[in-house]
Chains A and B, each alone.
Chain A
Amino acid sequence: MNDQLENEEISRRKFFMKLSLGLAGLSAAVAAVPVISAVLAPLLESKAQKWRTVGKLNDFKINTTNLVTFINADPEPYAGITAKSAAWLRRSSDTNFIAFAANCTHLGCPVRWEKDAHLFMCPCHGGVYYADGSVAAGPPPKPLTRYQVRVFKNEVQIKTAPLPITSIGASKSQPA
């Protein structure tokens, strides 16, 4: 009889031990949900892309490359000037536009168009690109990234896109 009582006592103790650990684990897990959600927030945000007008068709002369700026797709109301992005817009013919992201494909620094030299140059590590965005010199592993661009009701529009991130397998060939 005594033995049985003792066994019961032990299993009760074991039960409470498991219960306490289980409840502690559960409370931690539940509290972790909103915390992890905050950590991963940037991955959970909308991937919306928007067409942004960057100028009138006549603002851009054929065979010139100009800096245009626009507001990102879905900026926070408190983003201020950090909501802006820049692109180099090249008008290659009457109807054709190419928009290059201003970020060097090496490490993302802002490339600048040198209009007399007809080259894009990066101030950070000496990356150089030709007018068509292909790599001319320096460390960039691939050509300048392009934004989609269209002419809509006599206005030139650029489709916003995430900041281009170069992946490890990037190659020098021109993108399709």
Chain B
Amino acid sequence: MKNFLKKIWKWIDDRSGISESILPVITHPVPPRAKWSYVFGSATLFCFLLQVITGVALSLLYQPSSKEAYQSLQFITNQAKFGNVLRGIHYFGASAMIILVGLHMMRTYITASYKYPREMNWISGVFLLIFTIFMGFTGQLLRWDSNGVWSSVVAAQQLGRVPFVGEYLARLLLGGNTIGGQTLSRFYSYHVFIVPAFIFLFVAFHLYLVIRNGISEPPKAGRMVDPKTYRSWYQNLLKRKGVPFWPDAAWRDIIVSAFIIIAIIALAVLFGAPALTTPPDPSMVQTSPNPDWYMIPFFALFALMPHKIESIAMLLGPLLTIILLFSIPFISHKGERSPLKRPWAMFGVICVFVFVISLLVIGLQASWSPNFNTKPLPLTDIKSSNPDSTIVKGVHLFYAKGCQYCHTINHYGGKAGPNLTTVGNRLSIEELKVRIVNGGKNMPSFGGILSKEDLNNIVSFLHSQN
């Protein structure tokens, strides 16, 4: 029996040439001492495969229709066997891919692996980064709850800032003049057919380049990359010290990837899929759209940019970032690769890292948004121990007139404006009136909104906060 199976395999292998073409690829020599920092690319690849498989499984249960997607998601989440876990894996897998793509890119930059002859590896990698972010964005949108609807509107608005053709691009993205039947169909097509096709193509190209140019040897301070001699030097290195990729180097890739995939599944089992918000009804306005965490830095940037330059920055920001990323291997393609000898490059990468993480942290707090959920300030939490009727009225008005959406007093309220717990120490009655009536830098003027009596009550309350 065993011999018979062996014969069959030999026949298949002879006629198809599997061992002949695959073996040299998986056992190709790689530089020695390429250790744990080289695992991010393969981990990203395995996460991508996990996304493909769970994505195909989800598509068996999902209805890509503006009308019915929400119901099918409820079915997947609440009724389908393991449906909630399946959605969870796809969600945490997406998160892992974003993180790993980022780490892989940072590692490549830190060790300057993009230098000669691997410029094209970097460029195809930038394409893959863009596709991954696009997949993340469209993926959270296919969740087609109110967040999905408003994410598509927000994206259309950003495209609308493109000069001359912005309006057309926005309508193309939405699939019409308004949200409607075609909106989700188009996003589904982007997420499931078009962009994955490009990802497969670019992953194949990226891997082909890894084989063609070889993985970069770990850098050493003082060892320069010289395009004239590098290739022969590298071949020589492989001949003298190279080790076969499988199994000498690949075991690390597989251990890390397996660990990450197990972690993703564990998270999915523990936490399940992200909860669905309200139905995708564009006429339901009592909703606070919020993107998934990996989109939060962009979201935060839009709140924090100076408003005057924002429309231009919305257009130029992404454009310049992409141009810069593409031009990195052309700005410096030879010379030093060691991070120890490239202090400015290291400074840059730390700045970008801190910038993105800060935006994420600030964005999760979203203190610029009015706090619509704030509860009325109880009289026990004000400074005045024996409040008269004007102060009591002022406390109620402070809540009713929306002041508390943006201003905090004693942990009650929003953070868009200054904390007013002790405002009585800072401003006189007259100053308070002027501020409220005229508004300020980022505060509406309430002159036309409040009656004189209301104004006096609010001011007497605020002045008692000292």
- Which residues of A come within 8 Å of B, CB atoms? 39-43, 45, 47, 67, 69-70, 72-73, 75-86, 102-103, 106-112, 114, 116-119, 121, 123-126, 128, 130, 136-139, 141, 161-163, 165-170
Contacts and interface: CB of A to CB of B under 8 A. Distances in A.
A2 B105 CA distance: 63
Contacts of B305: 139
Contacts of B65: 78, 80
Contact of B449 (A84, A103, A117, A163): A117
A50 to B, nearest CB: 12
Contact of A85 (B178, B310, B444): B178
Given A119-B402, A163-B156, 17 more contacts: A67-B283, A79-B181, A82-B66, A82-B183, A106-B302, A109-B150, A110-B284, A112-B286, A117-B405, A117-B449, A124-B288, A124-B289, A128-B444, A137-B439, A162-B177, A163-B153, A170-B311
A128 to B, nearest CB: 5
Nearest to B371: A123
Contact of A163 (B172, B178, B279, B405): B178
B239 to A, nearest CB: 44
A78 B282 contact: no
Contacts of A76: 180-182
28 contacts: A39-B172, A40-B172, A42-B176, A75-B180, A79-B181, A80-B66, A80-B181, A83-B181, A85-B282, A107-B153, A107-B154, A110-B289, A116-B402, A117-B401, A117-B403, A121-B405, A123-B288, A124-B289, A125-B303, A126-B368, A130-B448, A137-B439, A138-B307, A138-B442, A141-B311, A163-B178, A165-B156, A169-B311
A62 B302 CA distance: 36
Contacts of A47: 177
A110 B369 contact: no
B282 A123 contact: no
Contacts of B178: 72, 85, 162-163
Interface in B260-318: 279-289, 299, 302-303, 305, 307, 310-312, 315
A42 B182 contact: yes
B135 interface: no
A39 B168 CA distance: 12
Given A76-B182, A119-B444, A124-B369, A165 B157 contact: yes
Name the 4 nearest CB pairs between A and B, nearest first: A80-B67, A117-B402, A76-B181, A136-B444
A100 B402 CA distance: 21
Contacts of B281: 81-82, 84
B315 A166 contact: no
B443 interface: yes
A139 B281 CA distance: 25
Interface stretch (B23-31, B159-167, B376-384): B159-167
B290 to A, nearest CB: 8
B203 interface: no
| B184, B368, B444, most chain A CB atoms within 10 A | B444
Contacts of B172: 39-40, 42-43
Interface in B10-40: none
B310 A123 contact: no
A141 B310 contact: yes
A111 B285 contact: yes
A167 B167 contact: yes
B407 to A, nearest CB: 12
User: Interface centre among A67, A75, A111, A165, by most B CB within 10 Å?
Assistant: A165
Contact of A168 (B171, B287, B311): B311
Contacts of B163: 168
A86 B285 contact: yes
Given A75-B180, A163-B174, A109 B370 contact: no
A137 B444 contact: yes
B72 to A, nearest CB: 12
Interface in B415-460: 416, 439, 442-445, 448-449
Nearest to A71: B283
Given A42-B171, A72-B180, A79 B153 contact: no
